[in-house]
Chains A and B, each alone.
Chain A
Amino acid sequence: MKTLAPSQRLLLGFGGVAVALLLWQFVLPPILNTRAPVVAPFTQAAGAAIDILTTELLDTVWPSILRILVGFGISALLGVAIGMVLGSIPWLQRLVRPVFDFLRATPATIIIPVAIAFLGLNSPLVIGVIVFGSIWPVLINTTDAIARVEPQYLDVARVARVARLRTMFTVKLPAGLPLILPGLRLTMQLALVLMVTGEMLGASSGLGFSLVQAQQSFDIARTYGGIIVLSIIGFLLDVILVSLEKKYVRYDSRAGKNAL
Chain B
Amino acid sequence: MNTVPNPTGAAQAPAGQDLSTTTLLTAWRSADRRRTAQKRKRRATDVALVIASFAGAAVLWELLRLVGVLPQQFFPPMLDIVGRLFTELGAGFGGKLLVATGQTALTWLLAFMIASVLGIVIGLFVGNSVYASATLAPLLRFVRSTPAVAFVPAAILVAGIGLQAKLLIVVFAGIWPIVLNTAAGVRHVPPQYRDVATASRLSSLEGVRQVLLPTIAPTIVSGLRVSMSLTLAVTVGVDLLIGANGLGALINQYRGVGNITSSYAGILWAGLLGTLLNLVLLAVERKLLFWSPEYRRKNA
Contacting pair B222 A193 (CB below 8 A): no
B112 on interface, CB distance cutoff 8 Å: no
Q: Of B1-9, B29-37, B223-231, which stretch is located at the interface? A: B223-231
- In the complex the two chains form, what is the Cα distance from A98 to B185 in whole Å? 31
In the complex, the 10 A-B pairs of residues with the closest C-beta atoms, listed nearest first: A215-B153, A105-B274, A234-B145, A106-B271, A109-B237, A192-B147, A13-B138, A98-B53, A16-B135, A12-B134
- In the complex the two chains form, what is the Cα distance from A188 to B147 in whole Å? 10
Contacting pair B153 A235 (CB below 8 A): no
Residue among B138, B232, B237 facing the most chain A CB atoms (10 A cut-off) = B237
Contacting pair A95 B137 (CB below 8 A): no
Contacting pair B266 A110 (CB below 8 A): yes
Given known pairs A1-B130, A117-B74, A254-B188, the reply for A95 and B56 (CB within 8 Å) is yes
B122 on interface, CB distance cutoff 8 Å: no
Contacting pair A109 B151 (CB below 8 A): no
B116 on interface, CB distance cutoff 8 Å: no
- In the complex the two chains form, what is the Cα distance from A226 to B234 in whole Å? 19
A250 on interface, CB distance cutoff 8 Å: no
Contacting pair A110 B251 (CB below 8 A): yes
- For chain B, the bracket of interface size reads 35 or more
- In the complex the two chains form, what is the Cα distance from A197 to B230 in whole Å? 13
Contact partner of A227 among B49, B57, B151, CB < 8 A?
B151
Contacting pair B260 A257 (CB below 8 A): no
- In the complex the two chains form, what is the Cα distance from A98 to B237 in whole Å? 25
Given known pairs A12-B131, A105-B278, A231-B145, the reply for A257 and B49 (CB within 8 Å) is no
Q: Which B residues lie at the A interface, using CB under 8 A?
A: 49-50, 52-54, 56-57, 71, 74-75, 130-131, 134-139, 141-143, 145-154, 156-158, 173, 177, 180-181, 184-185, 187-188, 191, 219, 222-223, 225-226, 229-230, 232-237, 240-241, 247-248, 251-252, 254-255, 260, 263-264, 266-267, 270-272, 274-275, 277-278
Contact partner of B271 among A9, A103, A220, CB < 8 A?
A103
Contacting pair B275 A17 (CB below 8 A): no
Contacting pair A106 B248 (CB below 8 A): no
The residues in A between 201 and 239 inclusive whose CB is less than 8 angstroms from any CB of B are 201, 207-208, 211-212, 214-215, 220, 223-224, 226-227, 230-231, 234-235, 237-238
Contacting pair A109 B236 (CB below 8 A): yes
